[in-house]
Amino acid sequence: MVNYFYPDILGTLSDDRLTIEDVMQCALGIFPAATALGQPAEALLLLQNLTDQPLDVQMAVQLPQHDRGGNLVNIFTPKPRLKITLPAAEIGILHIPVTPHPPTQLGATYDLSIDLTVEKPDRLNLVRPPSGGHQPNLLSISPFRLAVLRDITFSAKSRHTNQINVSFDVLSGRFPPRSDEPMPRYEALWTISNLEQEEAKAQEMAGEALRFAHSLTRQNAFEPLLQRTKDVFGDGGMPLHPGEAMFISKVLTYVIEDGLDLEPGFSLVDGNWFKRLCWLMAHTPDALNNTDHLINLLYSAVMRDAVMVGFWMVGQDTKADFGDEQERLSFTNRLIAAVEGRRPFALEHVYVPLVMSGTLMTARMAVTGENPWHSLNLLREARNGRVRLADASFQEVFDILDRLMNRAERLLREMQIPRE
């Protein structure tokens, strides 16, 4: 479960990244970019663990045997096959020495490739969004070392799946043989100890964040949430009907406004979106200056809270069985993966439990200029369009939704809400 907006160290060093199995990201550079015979260069492989579990990573270094003219090439690396365990949430850099020797031709460019394989744990939680995040405030290396790394060009060029490539030049000149051959080594750039320090700083902001959180209401949060919802689902291949977008945004607004404190078993201070807010206030306070931008940064965390609250609300109201806690959490993780662009949306992500729980907000979460009767009519229109396309297995979802919409209409009549 994403509790904090973990920093994106890789993004501070590279504009590009290759994602492996949705659990690790990498970028590759080389220093120096040009070397001579007998003089080693280092391939520098950035590795960023996106999960709360250690990852076993295997790497195979592929070096050219012949140049473009068919001439023999002799570029040596002491360990062409490497395996490391990348600790939970850690980001590091693997130094891989490569040394050209005769008869390698001078004045030519040579390619180096690394094939990567990651053993994906059976159970894991993502601790940083694959799309990137804010820059770190603490690194385990000196500012001088960081400045040196920033002068290196890292990229994620790839010719094949799970392969990353870089090129380097061999210039004229020759160095005498070295008495010692440099060996691969791993250097941690950001570790759990750094995380603990950053979390402590975020927790110090809790009081100020609580005051700010209370300033986020339906008046200033609903429209940005509505627009973001349309964009996220549309970009993910599931364009929403206006009625669907309206009711999803209602439950999202509910958990931002006061829903986490109103529903049993939940609280604002334990909410994912509030913890992310604390992190942003501690590390990127400028994000609070623009509500639309802030909502974009908080969106996946708000969505996670809304799904968990939604399961509770709809389950209590309809007695529908949404599985045990682990099953609901697994569903939530899949939906968040779709929100973050890591997998496609399915129709169930629209209705279960988002639109369903939003329907319970018909009267409780009225927004400026809204006629709730009109909103329900839009939702029925959306439902009727979807039912023609969905298969029979989705009928139970529509049956539950029909009951919720009928109940919402009865409540509007009892409250004497005018239709026009």
Query: What pLDDT score does 404 carry?
Result: 97
Q: What is the mean pLDDT of the chain?
A: 91
Better-predicted residue by pLDDT, 397 or 5: 397
Burial class (CB in 10 A: 0-12, 13-18, 19+), 215: exposed
Residues 190 and 213 in one domain: no
pLDDT tens-place string over residues 90-142: 999 999 999 999 999 999 999 999 999 999 998 887 888 777 766 666 566 66
- Residue 230's closest CA among 219, 246, 206, 209? 246
- Residue 198's closest CA among 133, 151, 148? 133
Residues 22 and 155 in one domain: yes
Query: In degrees rounded to 5, what are phi and psi of residue 180?
Result: -130, 135
Radius of gyration of the chain (CA): 26
For residues 53-75, give the mean pLDDT: 95
Residues 227 and 343 in one domain: yes
For residues 55-81, give the mean pLDDT: 96
Taking 50 as the threshold, does the pLDDT of residue 4 lie above it? no
Among the three residues 176, 198, 220, which one is the final residue of a domain in this structure? 198
Q: Please provide the size of the chain in residues.
A: 420
For residue 69, the 8-state DSSP code is T
52: CATH: 2.60.40.10
Q: Cβ(112)–Cβ(61) under 8 Å?
A: yes
Indicate whether 279 belongs to any domain: yes
Residues 109 and 249 in one domain: no
Query: What pLDDT score does 234 carry?
Result: 96
User: What domain range is 75 assigned to?
Assistant: 9-198
Three-class DSSP labels, 366-417 = CCCCCCHHHHHHHHHHHHHHHHCCCCHHHHHHHHHHHHHHHHHHHHHHHCCC
Query: What pLDDT score does 134 carry?
Result: 62
Query: What pLDDT score does 135 carry?
Result: 65
Q: Is the dihedral of CA 321, 322, 324, 325 positive or negative?
A: negative
pLDDT tens-place string over residues 160-201: 999 999 999 999 988 887 778 899 999 999 887 877 777 788
Q: Over pLDDT 90: what percentage of the chain?
A: 73
Among the three residues 198, 222, 238, which one is the final residue of a domain in this structure? 198
Indicate whether 276 belongs to any domain: yes
Instruction: Give the model's confidence band at 54: pLDDT under 50 very low, under 70 low, under 90 confident, else very high.
Output: very high
Better-predicted residue by pLDDT, 2 or 40: 40
Residues 276 and 300 in one domain: yes
Say how many domains are in the chain: 2
Instruction: Give the model's confidence band at 2: pLDDT under 50 very low, under 70 low, under 90 confident, else very high.
Output: very low
| 237, amino acid identity | G
Residues 111 and 224 in one domain: no
Beta strand spans in 175-296 (E): 185-190
Query: What pLDDT score does 194 carry?
Result: 77
Among the three residues 198, 214, 233, which one is the final residue of a domain in this structure? 198
